[in-house]
Amino acid sequence: MTACRTEVRTICRACGHGGCGIYVAVEDGEPVKILPDREHPVSKGYTCKKAHGFLELQTHPDRLLYPMQRVGERGEGKWRRLSWDEALSIVADKLNQIKAESGAEAVVFGHGTGRDFHRFVYRVANLYGSPNVLTPGHMCYLPRIAICKVMGMDIPLCDYDNKPQCVVAWGSNHLISNPDENKGINLAKTLTGGAKLIVIDPRGSKLANKADIWLRLRPATDSALAMGMMHVIVKEGLYDHDFVSKYTTGFEQLKERLEKFPPDVVEQITWAPKEKIIQAARLYATTKPAALQWGVGVEQNVNCVDADRALVYLVALTGNLDVPGGNVIFGLPPGLPRAKFAMFDQLPDEQRRKLLGGDKYKLGASINRITPHVVWDAIESGDPYPVRALVVFASNQLMARENANRVYDTLKKVEFFVATDIFKTPTTELADVVLPAATWLENDNIADYWKVHGYIFPRLKAVEPRGEAWPDHIILNELGKKLGFKDEFWETYEESLDFILEPAGLTWEEFREMPYLRNEPEFRKHEKYGFNSASGKLDFYLKQYEEWGYDPLPDFVEPPESPEREEEFVSRYPVVLTTGHRIFNYFGSELRQSGYLRKSHPDPLIEIHPELAKSKAIEDGDWVWVETPRGRVRLRAKLFDGIDPRVVSAEFGWWFPEKGAPDYGWNESNINVLTMDGPPLDPGMGATNLKGLMCNIEKA
């Protein structure tokens, strides 16, 4: 009998960024092949191996297929199967009990990177009354959203469609990472068209090899380098005088601050040669138009927000803000009610003021984000109040959160822990209730609804969910009803999509037949509307930051662990450690179950310069111990001359599904065993230090 084959046009979600247009070939109810959508306006026919690798995971034996409740102690691997009604009733009853006894703030909700159901997480949390939602956002993308909001705008993105003549790839290996709004194919096409390329990255890469100028800086010194480039541009009069005089305030204060960062000083801080700093500044400032693409690498250290705002100022000073081929503020598709859906206005002011860490990390509080250590503090010590429950969706906390040993101890201690995931993980093994989620191939959704590139797309279900798995948004919709908010949720999930699309004059049934909905870009909006700031202009001197008690101008401070520390510390931990460079086969801690993806990248790697390796008698492929004050892990050495001999770069997210429950080898090669979660952190956002730590490395 001939198999019945269909092709479903949809949007890939095999990685946390998602957003690539594909067709899924389905035979007899199973996905069998991924095909590129060459008409997709963002991905332009690009697909990656993660999408193809995901196919085998649909039927993987470690998939969670039924709601379960823990029996016995945490980590023993003993469970009993529940019905959905029973599972949601257990969760809702416990959460409402905690709310009655300790207040809604005693429950922390959470989700992982780029989850396109997070609108439901916030809707549930805000209606329930908890201000606390734990995400990776404190050091991943959201700092730039938050500081741009203070500046009176949304984040400015690269406008590749209007042919930049120069691209600065700053802390973003774009061809590998394919970040949220722009896929690597757009940069590749731009470079093929002859654009100049400046790469700023501690690591060499294929992208760095293509660069006209590559600045190999010391990890966590991005803000100093940005200030140094601005110093050159201002001193040499290469900035856009008209833009600065008409549309900005605080230029003289910024100019004075830049005096701290002449190229020779910046060379000492960053280890980047001053001649190359000057060349890069001149090339970027004099090539029109130019686009600056920066990645989360600049945000994962104590200088997080200073780096973000310094890069926005670089864009503005050079006249590349909101111009074709520069960095453009694209805006949302017409009328989509993101804040309205999340119901932030339903959270009482009294509860809002209870946001964990909100009194200290005020920039994070301005967009309702928290840094993880404040949650662990509240669980461990009850300061400033006890946290009794965690309800987490699509986040393998033991792998994703900093200072993983502390996370493990805290997850074992918290009174009630609910985990929702597609697969069994080290984190689900510690939960009291585990809820099985459907994959992106198994549900309808509005793709890219959370992004700011001006598009949304219909993501169409290709196959039916396996077992009794539900999409996360349906789980949250039904949990919201169980918690007592039936009138604020929907009888069917499709009705919630109609609610989102209503201002655009569409229903889900109509939108699912469309290729996309787009907000047509408008350029140089500041000339018509100014900026949404108190001054109506782009402020280099941020008075809001000053009122919060922070430095109103960007600066640089040494990371808490650095070669500048006391001699005794540096002698014990002499090597700079940077973590989390992108791995093409995986996204964070995801997809390690795939035999197809593991075959070409089976082990956790750490990049070591041959000179450092020789001094430690380490050869390529050796297993090595890497140690920081938090602990040690075992990684496989990859000798690599594209990194400074004083620096090593370790991969992120490694655990071993094949080792099985209950621990899956979560602490053997997990680089977050070595990272720090506590102060000193970025003062406004609470971003944690994942770059620029210090370590020792020895052959295992």
Residues 661-700 pLDDT 10s: 999 999 999 999 999 999 999 999 999 999 999 999 999 9
State pLDDT tens for residues 372-392. 999 999 999 999 999 999 999
Angle between the 118-128 and 472-482 helix axes, to the nearest 10 degrees?
10
Size of the chain in residues: 700
Residues 6+ apart with CB under 8 A from 640: 204, 607, 608, 609, 610
Residue 2: the pLDDT is: 58
- Output the CA–CA distances (angstroms, integers) from residue 416 to 82, 100, 101, 433, in the order listed: 17, 15, 14, 8
Look at residue 57 and tell me if it is in a domain. no
Same domain, 341 and 319: no
Residue 1 has pLDDT above 60, yes or no: no
* Residues 685-700: b if buried by 16+ CB within 10 A, e if exposed: bbbbbbbbbbbbbeee
Residue 1 lies in a domain: no
Would the pLDDT of 641 be above 90? yes
pLDDT at 76: 84
* Structural domain range at position 348: 68-138+334-441+456-518
Per-range mean pLDDT, top range of 26-30, 58-62, 617-621: 617-621
Q: Identify the pLDDT of residue 442.
A: 96
What are the DSSP calls for 333-375, one per residue? Answer: STT--HHHHHTGGGS-HHHHTT-TTTTT-HHHHHTT---HHHH
Core vs surface per residue 344-360: b (16+ CB within 10 A) or e: beebeeebeebbbbbeb
- Asked if 21 contacts 37 with a C-beta cutoff of 8 angstroms, the reply is yes
Calpha distance 148→312 (Å, rounded): 8
577 and 514 within one domain: no
Instruction: Give 579-637 pLDDT, tens digit per residue.
Output: 999 899 999 999 999 999 999 999 999 999 999 999 999 999 999 999 999 999 999 99
Overall number of domains in the chain: 3
Tell me: the pLDDT tens digits for 425-475? Answer: 999 999 999 999 999 999 999 999 888 899 999 999 999 999 999 999 999
What CATH number corresponds to the domain at position 201?
A: 3.40.228.10
CA distance 624 to 698: 6
Tell me the per-residue pLDDT of 216-248, one tens digit each, with 9 for 90 and over: 999 999 999 999 999 999 999 999 999 999 999
Mean pLDDT of 316-337: 89
Q: What is the mean pLDDT of residues 170-175?
A: 89
Query: What's the whole-number mean pLDDT along residues 636-651?
Result: 98
101-151 tens-digit pLDDT: 999 999 999 999 877 898 999 999 999 999 999 999 999 999 999 999 999
Q: Is the pLDDT of residue 399 over 60?
A: yes
Neighbouring C-alpha atoms within 13 Å toward the C-beta of 437: 23
pTM assigned to the model: 0.96
Residue 24 lies in a domain: no
Residues 629 and 687 in one domain: yes
| Together in a domain, 609 and 674 | yes
Residues 198 and 285 in one domain: yes
Report if residue 44 sits inside a domain.
no
Both tokens of 435, joined, read 């809820």
**pLDDT confidence bin for 331, thresholds 50/70/90:** confident
Same domain, 577 and 499: no
Cβ(175)–Cβ(184) under 8 Å?
A: yes
Neighbouring C-beta atoms of residue 570, cutoff 10 Å: 15
Verify that 325 and 345 share a domain, yes or no. Answer: no
Q: Specify whether 354 is located in the same domain as 465.
A: yes
Question: Of 72-81, 102-111, 174-183, 364-373, where does mean pLDDT reach its minimum?
Answer: 174-183
Band of residue 74 on the pLDDT scale cut at 50, 70, 90: confident
Indicate whether 146 belongs to any domain.
Answer: no
Please count the helices (runs of H) and the strands (runs of E) in the chain: 27, 27
Domain presence at residue 190 = yes
pLDDT value of position 449? 87
- Whether residue 181 is predicted with pLDDT greater than 80 in this model: the reply is no
Same-domain status, 230 and 130: no
pLDDT of residue 581: 92
Per-residue pLDDT tens over the stretch 465-481: 999 999 999 999 999 99
The pLDDT mean for the chain works out to 95
Task: Let me know whether 357 and 480 are in one domain.
Answer: yes
Residue 39 lies inside a defined structural domain of this protein = no
- Is 572 in the same domain as 689? yes
Mean pLDDT confidence for 503-520: 94
pLDDT band (50, 70, 90) for residue 180: low
CATH number for position 490: 3.40.50.740
Share of the chain above pLDDT 90, in %: 91
Domain-embedded: residue 362: yes
More confident position, 7 or 1: 7
Same domain, 343 and 206: no
Residues 6+ positions from 245 with CB-CB distance below 8 Å? none
Amino acid in position 331: G
pLDDT at 450: 85
